[in-house]
């Protein structure tokens, strides 16, 4: 009888449960199933040297192919699993898969680099910090070929911990990039405090570029980067006009649908096999 009433109570709660919460729970259960059943894969979006049109590297982007709902973009489930215990295995799955792919591509194009996105919750886990360091060493990933992308907001939250983590990754030969630069935090003082290799200019800046203007905001970011010896990738380049703007302003690297869309691993491999236009990373 107790069991029966428990079930009724659950039914009552589930009716009362707001839609959002129910969706969260479904997403979390779904991610667990996706991990178990292999419904995740990575796509890669090339990063291009704008001065030579050569491919410099590629960014790994997580894809969830849901058997009923189709492809679910990371923006819909990463934020949901951030405060669950799933962020750890998902981060590890991404890193492991990306490194596996990277090592095959290394045979093809020595020095080719791949970057992975690490979310705030994972950044502050000791397990993630050591997992990446161990993976890099165990798989003998060459130095400067594995990059970590982090957002400003995720780093600022625990600056002291972050400094230690980034130092450990740097010492192990990984590169650190700030993703979506310019969207997260109004102070730049943290740039001096962290061992950062480069900035990825958020695509909102790209959207606001004007062909006949000095685009002083982006120009200022590029000057800042140069003075701090930081590399720059301009994100979200969709049009020729945006590409020209960045070339003129002097952004060395770019990424966007107008250059290459994210693609399955096999397509990236084929692209690298058929093109000499690959510029290998050295720092």
Q: Which residues bind ligand C2E (CB under 6 A)?
A: 45, 61-62, 73-75, 78, 94, 117-119, 149, 179-180, 203, 236-238, 256-257, 262
Helix ranges (H only) for 65-185 are 74-81, 87-108, 120-123, 126-138, 152-156, 159-171
Nearest to ligand C2E of 179, 197 (CB atom): 179
Q: How far is the CB of 231 from ligand C2E (least distance, A)?
A: 16
Q: How far is the CB of 279 from ligand C2E (least distance, A)?
A: 19
Residues 3-62 that bind Mg ion (CB under 5 A): none
Distance of CA 219 to the CA centre of its chain: 24
Paired sense of beta strands 54-66 and 70-72, if any: antiparallel
Residues that bind Mg ion (rule: CB under 5 A) add up to a total of 5
Q: Which of 117, 128, 175, 255 binds Mg ion (CB under 5 A)?
A: 117
On the CB side of 211, CA atoms within 13 Å amount to 6
The listed partner (ligand C2E, Mg ion, none) that binds 62, CB under 5 to 8 Å by sort, is ligand C2E
CB 203 within 8 A of CB 256: yes
Q: How far is the CB of 177 from Mg ion (least distance, A)?
A: 8
Q: How far is the CB of 10 from ligand C2E (least distance, A)?
A: 32
Q: Which stretch binds Mg ion (CB under 5 A): 204-212, 223-231, 234-242, 268-276?
A: 234-242
Q: How far is the CB of 33 from Mg ion (least distance, A)?
A: 26
Considering just the CA atoms, what is the radius of gyration of the chain in Å?
21
Nearest to Mg ion of 149, 197 (CB atom): 149
Phi, psi of 71 (to 5 degrees): -75, 125
Q: Which of 43, 101, 152, 180 binds Mg ion (CB under 5 A)?
A: 180
Query: Distance between CA 125 and CA 88 in Å, rounded?
Result: 8
Residues 6+ apart with CB under 8 A from 272: 55, 105, 108, 109, 112, 278
Residues 6+ apart with CB under 8 A from 185: 152, 153, 156
Q: Which stretch binds Mg ion (CB under 5 A): 1-9, 93-101, 179-187, 271-279?
A: 179-187
Nearest to ligand C2E of 106, 206 (CB atom): 206
Q: How far is the CB of 255 from Mg ion (least distance, A)?
A: 8
Matching residue, tokens 């770019």: 254
The listed partner (ligand C2E, Mg ion, none) that binds 45, CB under 5 to 8 Å by sort, is ligand C2E
Residues 78-100 as b or e (16 or more Cβ within 10 Å = b): bebbeebebbbebbbbbbebbbe
Nearest to ligand C2E of 17, 39 (CB atom): 39
């Amino acid at each position: 009888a107790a069991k029966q009433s428990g079930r009724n109570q659950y039914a009552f709660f589930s009716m009362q449960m707001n839609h959002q919460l129910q969706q969260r729970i479904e997403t979390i259960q779904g991610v667990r199933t996706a991990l178990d059943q292999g419904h995740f894969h990575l796509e890669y979006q090339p990063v291009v040297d704008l001065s030579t049109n050569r491919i410099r590297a590629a960014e790994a982007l997580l894809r969830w192919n849901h058997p009923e709902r189709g492809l679910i973009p990371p923006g819909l489930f990463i934020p949901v699993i951030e405060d669950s215990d799933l962020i750890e295995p998902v981060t590890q799955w991404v890193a492991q898969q990306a490194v596996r792919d990277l090592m095959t591509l290394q045979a093809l194009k020595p020095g080719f680099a791949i970057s992975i996105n690490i979310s705030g919750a994972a950044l502050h886990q000791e397990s993630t910090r050591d997992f990446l360091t161990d993976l890099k060493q165990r798989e003998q990933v060459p130095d400067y070929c594995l990059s970590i992308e982090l957002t400003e907001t995720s780093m600022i939250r625990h600056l002291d911990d972050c400094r230690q983590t980034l130092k450990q990754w740097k010492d192990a030969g990984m590169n650190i990039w700030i993703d979506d630069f310019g969207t997260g935090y109004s102070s730049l003082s943290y740039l001096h405090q962290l061992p950062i290799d480069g900035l990825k200019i958020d695509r909102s800046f790209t959207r606001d570029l004007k062909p006949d203007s000095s685009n002083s905001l982006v120009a200022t970011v590029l000057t800042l980067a140069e003075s701090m010896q930081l590399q720059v990738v301009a994100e979200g380049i969709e049009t020729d006009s945006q590409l020209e703007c960045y070339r003129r302003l002097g952004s060395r690297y770019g990424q966007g649908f107008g250059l290459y869309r994210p693609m399955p691993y096999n397509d990236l491999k084929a692209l690298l096999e058929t093109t000499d236009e690959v510029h290998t990373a050295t720092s």
